[in-house]
Structure 1
C-alpha cells in the first residue's frame, strides 16, 4: 500500500532498531524519508540500504537540532511526518544513581525529544502527524528503571499537551510505547543473554519479544489518513507485558 505517496517524513535515531524498521515501513508506503543519527558511518550505511536521506545530528545538543532543522528546511522545505525515536536506556537503582547517568538519559530521552518537536513545529505542514516513541516502562514499576521510566512518562505528558496545542493546525500527535523488542538495545543494556531473555519472555503474556517491524507498521498507520481522528493517544506495543504489574 502506497498510502504515504508525496509525504516527507523525518525519523530521529533511524539507523537501527525501531527507527530503522519505521523508516523501512514508511518508504514501503511511498514516503520520502529522512533519518538522523549520532554515528556517521551507521547513519550513512542505513540511508544507503533504505534509499533514504541522512543527516548527522546529536539530539541531546540544541545547536545540532537547530542545524538539523535549518538543513531540512533548506533541502525539503516543509515535512509531513515527524517520528521522534532517538533514545537510550540505562539501568541503575535509585540509591546508586549518578548525576552523569541521570543527565545522559534525560538529555536524550526528554530534552532531545522535547526540543526536536519544539524546533520542528514551524516546519510541519498543516495536517501533519507526529509520533513520539515512549516506552511501556512508563506504565510499570520495574527496579533499576527509575530514570528511564521517568523520562518516558514525561514524553507522554509532552505528547498530550502538544496534541492540544497543535490541534488548531490539524497536526496530530501520538505516542507509541514499545515493550521488549528484539533490537540491538538488548545487547547494549546487557539483556541479550539466554537466561535474561527467558526471564523477559516469561513476563510477556504473548510469550515472545516484539519484532521491530510491528512498531513500524503501527507508526505507519498512525501517520496515515486512516488515523485522521486519532490524536493525544498512547499506544502500548508490549505483548501485554504492562498488564503484569
Structure 2
C-alpha cells in the first residue's frame, strides 16, 4: 500500500500551534479547508489563538513532560477519532556554551530541550502510528527539523543542532519503516531555515533572526509558508524554504 498524499488529511494536530510557525501552518491549513487542533503549554494563548484563527479545539500540554503524552494521545484520539494528521512542531532553542566568554552551561535546560525536541516527537509518533494506521484513508505525520540539523553553523546551539539532526534522520527512518510495513501513512519532514519568529527568545539578542537586525538570510513567516505550501502541493517528503531548499535537495 502506498502512502497517501500530503494534503489528503482532514483533521490535524499541531503541537506548539499557538504562535510562530505552528500558528502559520494552522492558519494555512484552515484556509485550505482543513480542521486544526492546536496544542501547547499556555491555555490563555491557546484559547486566544484558537478563537482568532478558527481552530477546531485546543489542548493544554507541555510535551517536555513525557509522562503526560500517553494520556494526551488517548484523550485526543477518543474525543477526535477522525484525527488523521500530527505536526510535531513544538521546539525550543537555547544557548549552550561549555567554555568561553559567554559561558552558559545548564544541563537542566539542556535536558528539557532534548525532551521537547527529541523525546516528545518520538513518543507522539510512536503512540499515534497505530491510530493513524487504522484510519481507512491513511494518515500524515509531519516533523519539523531545521537547516541547523544539516549544517550546524550556529555554534551557540549545539544541543538544538544535534536534536534537529536527530529529527531529520528519525523522520527518514520512520518513513522507510512504514513503507516496508505496507502502511499508507505519509511522513514529511519540514526543514526551516532562519525565519523571523520568537525562537531566539533566550539569546542575548532575541531578535538576531530578524532582517532588521542584519540577518539578511532570514525569511519572513509569509515567505517561509509560501515555499512550504508549494512543497505540500508537490507532495514532497522533505520540504524546505528559501536558502534551505538547495541544501536539503543535496540529500
Q: TM-score range by the shorter chain?
A: 0.7 to 0.9
Alignment of 1:11-30 (within 5 A): 11-30=14-33
Distance in 2, Cα, partners of 1:194 & 1:72: 34
- In the alignment, what sits opposite 1:174? 188
Secondary structure class of the residue paired with 2:78: helix
Distance in 2, Cα, partners of 1:56 & 1:194: 28
Distance in 1, Cα, partners of 2:34 & 2:209: 38
Q: TM-score, normalised by structure 1?
A: 0.83
- Is 1:164 equivalent to 2:176 in the alignment? yes
The unaligned stretches of length 5 or more in structure 1 are: none
Q: TM-score, normalised by structure 2?
A: 0.81
**Corresponding pairs, count:** 230
Task: Tell me: CA distance 1:237–1:163, structure 2 relative to 1, closer, same or farther (3 Å).
Answer: same
- In the alignment, what sits opposite 2:64? 60
Q: How large is the Cα RMSD of the aligned pairs? A: 2.6
Secondary structure class of the residue paired with 1:130: strand
Task: Tell me: CA distance 1:218–1:128, structure 2 relative to 1, closer, same or farther (3 Å).
Answer: farther
Alignment of 1:36-185 (within 5 A): 36-52=39-55, 53-95=57-99, 96=103, 97-124=105-132, 125=135, 127-140=138-151, 141-167=153-179, 168-185=182-199
Q: Is the Cα contact below 8 Å between 1:23 and 1:216 reproduced in 2?
A: no
Distance in 1, Cα, partners of 2:126 & 2:231: 20
The unaligned stretches of length 5 or more in structure 2 are: 1-5
Q: Is the Cα contact below 8 Å between 1:5 and 1:30 reproduced in 2?
A: no
- In the alignment, what sits opposite 2:10? 7
Task: Tell me: CA distance 1:73–1:222, structure 2 relative to 1, closer, same or farther (3 Å).
Answer: farther
Q: Is the Cα contact below 8 Å between 2:16 and 2:40 reproduced in 1?
A: yes
